[in-house]
Structure 1
Amino acid sequence: MKVLLTFYGEEKTGLDSSPEQIAETFKTWGEFDAATRAAGAMIACEGLEGGHAATTVRIAGDDRRVTDGPFMETKEQLGGFALLEVSDLDEALEWAARTPWNRDGHVTEIRPVMDYSQYAARLEGTGLEGAIS
């Protein structure tokens, strides 16, 4: 099963960190990346630019509203993600616990990637089978 780990925390820039802190951060993330790749679990893992770089799009009918910044005004912002292939939720929990993100009270959310086969099965015999590929 595929799961998306999303990393939330109080937004702060790494540029405020000392060179030693930056090196330690990249080292620990490199170790996480190496471990997940060695286990065959890693699909993708990336950090995201801060909320200042976000653009939000809202569509209502023919009206498209584009605003600068993230969707919600909160102290915690989405900082990055890891897309993993795991056997079950327990394995996802193990990887989430091993991310360097979980220091300093940050939060990791685990969310399964949607399995579209359940929808395809519902379309069988309806003539709409080609709608999901």
Structure 2
Amino acid sequence: MRYMLLIYNDEKAMANAAKEQTQQVLAAYGAYTEALKKSGAYIAGERLRPTQAATSVRLTGGKTNVLDGPYADTKEQLAGFYMIEAADIDTAIEWGARCPASSTGTVEVRPIWEMAEYVAAAE
């Protein structure tokens, strides 16, 4: 089954981190990504640009409303993701716990609802 590991961190803390600390964090993510790939669990993963680069879109009454920047003001922001393949939720949680963000922020482990399953459930 596929899972998303959604990485939440404090953007301001990361932006203000010392260069040495930033290099350590990047090295930890590099090692984590390599471990995922070697295990065969890795499907995809990317870091996201800061929330100031985000655009939120909402359709209300047939009209498109666009909001630049983050939609909500929160302590932690969605900073990146990994999509992994895992045998079960326990294995996905183990990978989430190994993610460097689990010690500085939050890693949300969420099963992917495959479209084929969704369509079948709706019929």
TM-score under structure 1 normalisation? 0.83
Query: How far, CA to CA, are the matches of 1:27 and 1:122 in structure 2?
Result: 42
Larger radius of gyration: 1
Moved more, 113-122 or 87-96: 113-122
Query: How far, CA to CA, are the matches of 2:122 and 2:20 in structure 1?
Result: 56
Structure 1 residues 112 and 17: alpha-carbon distance in aligned structure 2, compared to 1, 3 A threshold: same
| Cα RMSD, aligned residues only | 1.8
Match of 2:23 in 1: 23
- The percent identity for this pair of structures is 38
Match of 1:99 in 2: 99
Query: How far, CA to CA, are the matches of 2:118 and 2:55 in structure 1?
Result: 31
| Offset, 1:9 | 2.4
Match of 2:66 in 1: 66
Equivalent residues, number = 123
| Offset, 1:122 | 5.4
| Offset, 1:34 | 0.6
Query: How far, CA to CA, are the matches of 2:30 and 2:51 in structure 1?
Result: 24
| Offset, 1:13 | 5.8
Q: 5+ unaligned residues in a row in structure 2: which ranges?
A: none
Structure 1 residues 25 and 59: alpha-carbon distance in aligned structure 2, compared to 1, 3 A threshold: same
Structure 2 residue 105 is matched with structure 1 residue 90? no
Match of 1:117 in 2: 116
| Offset, 1:22 | 1.9
Moved more, 16-25 or 115-124: 115-124
| Offset, 1:118 | 2.7
Structure 2 residue 56 is matched with structure 1 residue 56? yes
TM-score under structure 2 normalisation? 0.89
- The residue type paired with residue 115 of structure 1 is E
Match of 1:45 in 2: 45
